[in-house]
Structure 1
Amino acid sequence: MEGPSTPVLRRDPYEVLSVSRDSSDQEIKSAYRKLALKYHPDKNVSNPEASELFKEVAYSYSILSDPEKRRQYDTAGFEALETDGMDMEIDLSNLGTFNTMFAALFSKLGVPIKTTISASVLEEALNGTVTIRPLPLGTSVSGKVDKQCAHFFGVTINEQQAQAGIVVRVTSSAQSKFKLLYFEQEANGGYGLALQEDSEKTGKVTSAGMYFLHFQVYRMDSTVNALAMAKDPEAAFFKRLEGLQPCEVSELKSGTHVFAVYGDNFFKPAGYTIEAVCARPFEDITEKLKEIESQILKKRNDLRQFETEYRKALARFQEVTNRYTQEKQAVDELLKQRDSIHSSFTTVRTIANSGSSTSGSNKAPDEEVSVGSPTEDRTPDAKDRSFKKKWFNLNLSKKA
């Protein structure tokens, strides 16, 4: 299964995406989407160079879109990055049936696989040729979208609703895989992809949401450092919050906004229900979300510090555990040697050894160790011999 991989000749990610080092997350994402669409394999079937450029663009974006990886690269370049842990997007439409089956299998086993959006959907949106269905606030719409296809919805809000905040959520009781997309209107009248949320399993459903609540909201990317966590199961706990990424858009202005549900299943359509609500009736929940987001960010920083302490303690524990094993073996060996020496103090062993080397003696070993009074010779065999001797000396002639 092939996806965008680490280029052999690595260029500066900022150079690849044609952005400056002080570019915002939104500027980086916008540059990536344009280049990814330009070099997408679907649009360049007969151009192998475009496929390599597409991989390079995806690789560069995987660095600059992650705040921690971007910081590491800015500090020490490529050497500071774990290449094996880089997250890539796989184009399902370019995999073929056989590799798609493998991808589906890995996904079923719980391996997070990040997939890219088909070029045809992005191009139709950019050209403004998509059909947009209205989605009034406070309503929901259910449907099924084919794999690698999208259903577009328009959410119209006024000034008061925009100030209160807007939430758009999609759920799937069939646990389908899908993406929730948000498009911004381009100057030519088309729509460019601005936000993307992959569905996550939450209980008995899969869901994805976008929250425009006038404060920084974060999304959870489960594929971040997935390979690194697989190599080190203990890292799964410490890296669990590293996938928390800030959403690039935190508020919407009045007007019509375009969202889409993209089918991300490997073989079948994705069933879904999409709804848009105004946050005004949910003020208490909104404040609770703001508080929880703050606590999670603090906990992420705490975990980073605790991981350092834990690793040191674990190394020390491993050291003393190894010493424990060595000391136990040493004590067992000393006690074994002590028992062996103790068992050497025995007359049986000494006499047996000396008796085997003595010549000219016809006495049995048992007779040599016999020491004591004559009564000790009166064994049952001796009594029997004495009785037989007396019996044979009887004077039988007189009776005759």
Structure 2
Amino acid sequence: MASGKMEGPSAPGVRRDPYEVLCVSRDSSDQEIKSAYRKLALKYHPDKNTSNPEASELFKEVAYSYSILSDPEKRRQYDAAGFEALEHESMDMEIDLSNLGTVNTMFAALFSKLGVPIKTTIAATVLEEALNGTVTVRPLPLGTSSNGKVDKQCAHFFSVTISEQQAQSGVVIRVASAAQSKFKLLYFEHEPNGGYGLALQEDSEKTGKVTSAGMYFLHFQVYRMDSTVNALAMAKDPEAAFFKRLEGLQPCEVSELKPGTHIFAVYGDNFFKPASYTIEAICAKSYEDTTEKLKEIEAKILAKRNDLRQFEVEYRKALARFQEVTNKYNQEKQSVDELLKQRDVIQSSFTTVRALINATGVTTSSSKLPNEDNRSDIPVEDGSSDGKDKASKKKWFYLNLNRSDKKG
């Protein structure tokens, strides 16, 4: 495959064939790809290579390649048409909080507080201790719960032992935090050397007044939601966010557990403080109705995702047509207004009144009725009421004068 420049800020500088990066063949199974990724991620993890700056870039390249090949849809798109077929090629990579430093951690915490989804990777020390089998594991019987508080970038390990009957019924592992702490729920597989290799992880999500994460091993396909897909779509096009809301739906890699002992862990993912949590191990035998409802709703959501994909095409066409019609409406309205305006001007031209505009901009009329100019010169007749008033005033005035003269 041809290499090209990456757009994502956390992605490696140059893209190489993901199969080549992970040293696997194109027909490799999901498990083979996962194992190859785990080995390379531990090999190039920044915590283990503080004196080797190239290791950080190799770690990003390994993480980016795995993000493609671990997702069935992205892998299919890449196999069909290379990097160009990937819709979210600028996806952000997971960051290692233990390698950020105080200042960068504060910025990451701020962005997270503002609602920007930030994926974090698990500290290499935790993965290495698990792989070496040097972690402390607490038993968690089915049907019980355990409360705890785990430090940031640390993990509490639990063992869940299930019987044949319980395995057939299905098992659910859930973690919740009333303090809305950030955490990861991890599932580890047994390694030949006696250690534990990371197989699954679920980031906590805010649901109401708590944060929670769960793993459902119920013999049917259960899906997990990657909220960053929707966030990236919203950043590119707010209208597309609704249609991409279910695109983050990804199938969980493990749908059932075999009888025996299984290892789970709660990883503290807070930026500065410990994470409070309650972990529960539940046998689905007591929740048969709930299990059936979950199976039905998963199928409905999956069908709805397909419906949204088709509806988006229909919506885009209708929106384009609406914009076209709206533009035509505005143009026609302007055209009609202009025609009516011209009509009013033409109709007002049929008049004998000659309009004049004085210096103040006020329109006055210069036309007058016949003989109107001479009306002010017509004298008032003696018989008018005004003439009588004036005569009476003069007589009264002279009377007073005459009386005063007589007294003198």
TM-score, normalised to structure 1, is 0.87
1:97 pairs with 2:93: no
Q: Cα RMSD (Å) of the superposition? A: 2.6
Kindly indicate whether the alpha-carbon contact (under 8 Å) linking 2:9 and 2:92 is maintained by their aligned counterparts in 1: no
Deviations 1:44-93 (A, max 9, x none): 11111111111111221222233332222222211222456424211111
Residue number in structure 1 paired with 2:369: 370
Residue number in structure 2 paired with 1:54: 59
- What is the distance in 2 between the residues matched to 1:69 and 1:87? 15
Following superposition, the deviation at residue 133 of structure 1 comes to 0.7
Question: Which of 28, 32, 37 does residue 32 from structure 1 map onto?
Answer: 37
What does residue range 1-400 of structure 1 map to in structure 2 within 5 Å?
5-82=10-87, 85-349=90-354, 369-371=368-370, 379=375, 382-384=378-380
Give secondary structure in 1 for the equivalent of 2:379: helix
Kindly indicate whether the alpha-carbon contact (under 8 Å) linking 2:12 and 2:60 is maintained by their aligned counterparts in 1: yes
Kindly indicate whether the alpha-carbon contact (under 8 Å) linking 1:18 and 1:31 is maintained by their aligned counterparts in 2: yes
Deviations 1:191-225 (A, max 9, x none): 00000001011111111111111111111111124
Deviations 1:299-342 (A, max 9, x none): 11111111111111111111111221222222222222222333
- What is the distance in 1 between the residues matched to 2:219 and 2:125? 33
Kindly indicate whether the alpha-carbon contact (under 8 Å) linking 1:92 and 1:116 is maintained by their aligned counterparts in 2: yes
- What is the distance in 1 between the residues matched to 2:116 and 2:288? 37
- What is the distance in 2 between the residues matched to 1:340 and 1:32? 80
Kindly indicate whether the alpha-carbon contact (under 8 Å) linking 2:131 and 2:196 is maintained by their aligned counterparts in 1: yes
Which has the higher relative contact order, 1 or 2, with Cα contacts under 8 A spaced 6 or more apart? 1
Kindly indicate whether the alpha-carbon contact (under 8 Å) linking 2:233 and 2:244 is maintained by their aligned counterparts in 1: no
Following superposition, the deviation at residue 242 of structure 1 comes to 1.0
- What is the distance in 2 between the residues matched to 1:231 and 1:133? 45
Following superposition, the deviation at residue 9 of structure 1 comes to 2.2
Q: Residue type of the partner of 2:198? A: L
- What is the distance in 2 between the residues matched to 1:205 and 1:54? 33
Q: Residue type of the partner of 2:370? A: V
- What is the distance in 2 between the residues matched to 1:98 and 1:238? 36
Q: Residue type of the partner of 1:163? A: Q
- What is the distance in 2 between the residues matched to 1:344 and 1:55? 79
* Pair 83,384 (structure 1): closer, same or farther in 2 beyond 3 Å: same
Give secondary structure in 2 for the equivalent of 1:226: helix
Kindly indicate whether the alpha-carbon contact (under 8 Å) linking 2:172 and 2:214 is maintained by their aligned counterparts in 1: yes
- What is the distance in 1 between the residues matched to 2:66 and 2:379? 107
* Pair 314,39 (structure 1): closer, same or farther in 2 beyond 3 Å: same
Give secondary structure in 2 for the equivalent of 1:170: strand
- What is the distance in 2 between the residues matched to 1:190 and 1:324? 71
- What is the distance in 2 between the residues matched to 1:122 and 1:284? 37
* Pair 37,4 (structure 1): closer, same or farther in 2 beyond 3 Å: farther
TM-score, normalised to structure 2, is 0.85
Give secondary structure in 1 for the equivalent of 2:121: coil
Question: Which stretch has the larger CA shift, 320-329 or 224-233?
Answer: 224-233
Kindly indicate whether the alpha-carbon contact (under 8 Å) linking 2:11 and 2:92 is maintained by their aligned counterparts in 1: no
* Pair 243,342 (structure 1): closer, same or farther in 2 beyond 3 Å: same
* Pair 84,322 (structure 1): closer, same or farther in 2 beyond 3 Å: farther
Question: Which stretch has the larger CA shift, 94-103 or 191-200?
Answer: 94-103
Give secondary structure in 1 for the equivalent of 2:229: coil
- Paired positions, count: 374
- What is the distance in 1 between the residues matched to 2:88 and 2:37? 20
Unpaired stretches in structure 1, ≥5 consecutive residues: 354-364, 392-400
Deviations 1:165-198 (A, max 9, x none): 1111101000100000000010111100000001
Kindly indicate whether the alpha-carbon contact (under 8 Å) linking 2:83 and 2:89 is maintained by their aligned counterparts in 1: no
Kindly indicate whether the alpha-carbon contact (under 8 Å) linking 2:10 and 2:92 is maintained by their aligned counterparts in 1: no
Residue number in structure 1 paired with 2:3: none
* Pair 307,26 (structure 1): closer, same or farther in 2 beyond 3 Å: farther
* Pair 69,385 (structure 1): closer, same or farther in 2 beyond 3 Å: farther
Q: Percent identity?
A: 83
Give secondary structure in 1 for the equivalent of 2:378: helix
Give secondary structure in 2 for the equivalent of 1:152: strand
Unpaired stretches in structure 2, ≥5 consecutive residues: 1-7, 358-364, 391-408
Kindly indicate whether the alpha-carbon contact (under 8 Å) linking 1:84 and 1:228 is maintained by their aligned counterparts in 2: no
Following superposition, the deviation at residue 141 of structure 1 comes to 0.5
- What is the distance in 2 between the residues matched to 1:29 and 1:225? 25
Kindly indicate whether the alpha-carbon contact (under 8 Å) linking 2:187 and 2:201 is maintained by their aligned counterparts in 1: yes
